Amino acid sequence: MTQSETPAASGKGMIMLVDDDKFLLDMYAMKFTQAGFSVYPASSTADALKVLREGLQPKAVLFDLIMPEGDGFYLLETIGNEKLAKGATFIALTNEMNDDEQKRIMELGASKYIVKAMLIPSEVVNSVALEVEKK
């Protein structure tokens, strides 16, 4: 991806969404766009890593934990190992309510763990916006 192909960050900055559920990806992309963020939706870990390796610098990366081709743990480990998305906030957005998984994802560098079923989409957007503002 060349600089001219990089999605332009607008308003509050770029959010990368990584989820294999197209409905949720589209819905959250719309919600974040309405809130003033630009959005890069990635339907797989491979897609997310590809554009990050090509230089995309999002303010935040929201990712599901359970995905068929490389889970959220792999995504976060690879981003850390390859020093991608420098300065980004990493937030797990999942339906997993497992304390061990939450502890592990936080140890890998996530700043927040959001359980999708516990918040309505606008609350997710507000929570992410607050995390981004902290940086």
Give the Cα separation of 23 and 21 in Å (integer).
Answer: 6
Give the Cα separation of 8 and 93 in Å (integer).
Answer: 24
The per-residue pLDDT for 42 is 96
Does residue 2 have a pLDDT over 70? no
The per-residue pLDDT for 35 is 94
| Cβ partners under 8 Å of residue 106, min gap 6 | 113
**Burial annotation 1-17 (CB, 10 A radius, 16+ → b, else e):** eeeeeeeebeebbbbbb
The better pLDDT of the pair 1, 23 is held by: 23
Q: Name the token pair of 82.
A: 């390859």
Share of the chain above pLDDT 70, in %: 93
Residue 65 pLDDT grade (very low, low, confident, very high; cuts 50, 70, 90): very high
The per-residue pLDDT for 10 is 57
| All domains of the chain in start order, with CATH | 14-134 (3.40.50.2300)
| Beta strands 38-42 and 14-18, pairing class | parallel
Q: What is the mean pLDDT of residues 87-108?
A: 92
The per-residue pLDDT for 98 is 86
Q: What is the mean pLDDT of residues 46-74?
A: 94
What confidence tens digit (pLDDT) does each residue in 12-42 have? 899 999 999 999 999 999 999 999 999 999 9
The per-residue pLDDT for 113 is 94
Does residue 3 have a pLDDT over 80? no
